[in-house]
Amino acid sequence: MIFFNKFVKFVQFVVNNLVEIVGGWIVGSLRQKALLICVHLFSIIGLGLGGFFLLMVCSLSLHSQDFEELSYGKFIDVDVKIRTFLGNFERNYYGNKAPSRLDILWKKFLGSGYTVASREEGPVKWSGCGWTGQPLLVEEDGEYYLIQGAYDHKLKKLEANTGKTIWEYEYDDVLKGTGTIWSNRHARNFGKSLIILQGSRRGTENSLYSVKIPSFRAISYFYGIDYWKLDVKKTASYSRDTDASALIFNDTVYIGLENAIFMVLNPNPDSVVMKDGMKQPKIYQELNLYNNKDISKHRGNLVIESSPCLLNDRIYITAGSGHVYGYNLKTKKIDWDFYIGSDLDGTPVVTEDSCILVTVEKQYIEGKGGVFKLDPSKNESEAVVWYFPTGNATLAEWKGGVIGSASINDRTRLETHPYLAAFSAIDGYLYVVNHKEIDEAKGKVYGPNNKETYPAPKLVFKKRIGGSISTPIIVGNKLIAAGYGGIYLFEFDEKGNFELLDNKSPGVFEATPIAWDGKIYVGSRNGYLYCFGEFEPQKNTEEE
């Protein structure tokens, strides 16, 4: 029996490697194809047959992992730089270095696709990418690659230096949100070692009542093929899309879906189950992030569009039902619930002093939207550190507040600089506050429901840039803010003095940018993904 089990593992190993070769040949570059064949054939012939021979002669107790120690990944140095929406699972990292100008170094047409925006409108054509739409960034052997979801229904792997397409994977609808890259330590083959967890809208051919809607999927980073699809089931929510970026802790996925369910699941492709004719991930837990009162107040608008963040032993997530929930990783229960009442779209952001920043839309509330700083180590009634209200204004279907997330400089802050938080509001302004300093002179301000009053943070900078639902980013002493009025690049000093370095308006922006090695990557609703930076002056090579 032992011999038979080892033989089966060996056959599985050979088949896996052959599948890798076929998949890699279809989507890989010439260099990758050559390396792929050499390494996998070496693995099969050299390591696999060698191990099999030793097994027969010596009856050694070999495991399948032994056959794969010399896998393809050992020959490629892979480093994930931007792993998920807002960089990490604290949602507070946006890159390492920003440029000083916004020259367009290259632009890539992402395409267009149809989606059903509403039952009344029917199918509409969207182009480029939108909210949240932030690219991911991976380094392979010194070369950088972007992962970008787009409105042409496709997830794309692109060369960061040129925008050249490496592969595309097609979904059933537009991709709005940002993916998350999982480094699979238990992978049995190379393709499964790095997996993108990416959502989409429900599907142009689907209705809210379709039997199955696989809007959350696991895609191979290397080959652009899917390993499983999750059916987002019908609930009291009026959506079955997936906009959020997953949080991964101890090889477990935590994510809020637009059906208002908080999911805990196993992302490993080797642990899938067959359900409704699809390979689906194993589900550990499902929690409804709403109650009957929320249904009465919000009706079907219970959707979760934000991404969860990790702080100590809790995962925090905002919900369309108006709650900020804290999920206890030890007890596996929700044991913290700060109720605001508005539709909460923005992702909570973890600060250096173990608080979270939560943005608030002007919807279902009497007062103004804005931004909370909350200390979740305290009881909900004592958790508010400050509140910053923004102005009321009408932009599309929004009436005010902040739709995107806040950003902070805590991760890349220069030593003499203050702790800053930035956010773009529907009222057309970019706001920057010192998130550790209270404005004593201003006194207290009313919260979202015009009942409680709270301290306000000190305002450092305010600039009219036009309405925006994008999240601005702070990298070192630079701030990049994109919106319907274009993209803005600022520089600031330790005293909070801001200078506008550049502004470009090639299109309107809803997506959130990243900054890396002096370049900015961000997609527009005009159909293009842009790489901004500084053109290097041409050197004169002629002899004088």
pLDDT tens figures, 421-439: 999 999 999 999 999 999 9
Q: What is the pLDDT, as a whole number, of residue 117?
A: 86
Burial category of 67 from C-beta neighbours within 10 Å (exposed 0-12, middle 13-18, buried 19 and up) = buried
Residues 240-270: tens digit of each pLDDT: 999 999 999 999 999 999 999 999 999 999 9
3-state secondary structure of 128: coil
**Which residue, 222, 220, 300, is CA-closest to 258?**
300
Residue 399 · residue 423 · CB < 8 Å? no
Helix (H) or strand (E) holding 181, with range, is strand 180-183
Residue by residue, pLDDT tens for the chain (544 residues) are 444 444 544 555 555 556 555 555 555 555 555 545 554 555 555 545 544 443 333 333 323 333 333 344 445 899 999 999 999 999 999 999 999 999 999 999 999 999 998 888 889 999 999 999 999 999 999 999 999 999 999 999 999 999 999 999 999 999 999 999 999 999 999 999 999 999 999 999 999 999 999 999 999 999 999 999 999 999 999 999 999 999 999 999 999 999 999 999 999 999 999 999 999 999 999 999 999 999 999 999 999 999 999 999 999 999 999 999 999 999 999 999 999 999 999 999 999 999 999 999 999 999 999 999 999 999 999 999 999 999 999 999 999 999 999 999 999 999 999 999 999 999 999 999 999 999 999 999 999 999 999 999 999 999 999 999 999 999 999 999 999 999 999 999 999 999 999 999 999 999 999 999 999 999 999 999 999 999 987 555 444 3
- Which pair of structure tokens corresponds to residue 111? 């395409």
Do strands 180-183 and 165-170 pair parallel, antiparallel, or not at all (unpaired)? Answer: unpaired
User: What secondary structure, in 3-state letters, does 188-218 show?
Assistant: CCHHHCEEEEEECCCCCCCCCCCCCCCCEEE
Question: From CA 35, how far away is CA 476, in angstroms rounded?
Answer: 38
Q: What is the pLDDT, as a whole number, of residue 7?
A: 52
**Which residue, 341, 301, 336, is CA-closest to 317?**
336
Q: What is the pLDDT, as a whole number, of residue 120?
A: 83
Q: What is the pLDDT, as a whole number, of residue 536?
A: 81
For residue 452, the number of C-alpha atoms closer than 13 Å in the C-beta half-sphere is 16
Question: From CA 458, how far away is CA 439, in angstroms rounded?
Answer: 4
Q: What is the pTM of this model?
A: 0.88
Residues 347-379: tens digit of each pLDDT: 999 999 999 999 999 999 999 999 999 999 999
3-state secondary structure of 433: strand
Q: What is the DSSP letter of 95?
A: B
Q: What is the pLDDT, as a whole number, of residue 41?
A: 54
Q: What is the pLDDT, as a whole number, of residue 351?
A: 98
**Which residue, 134, 104, 101, is CA-closest to 491?**
101
Residue 211 · residue 238 · CB < 8 Å? no
Burial string for 415-428 (b: 16+ CB within 10 Å, else e) reads eebbbbbbbbbbbb
Question: From CA 409, how far away is CA 391, in angstroms rounded?
Answer: 24
* Angle between helices 30-41 and 2-27 in degrees, nearest 10: 170
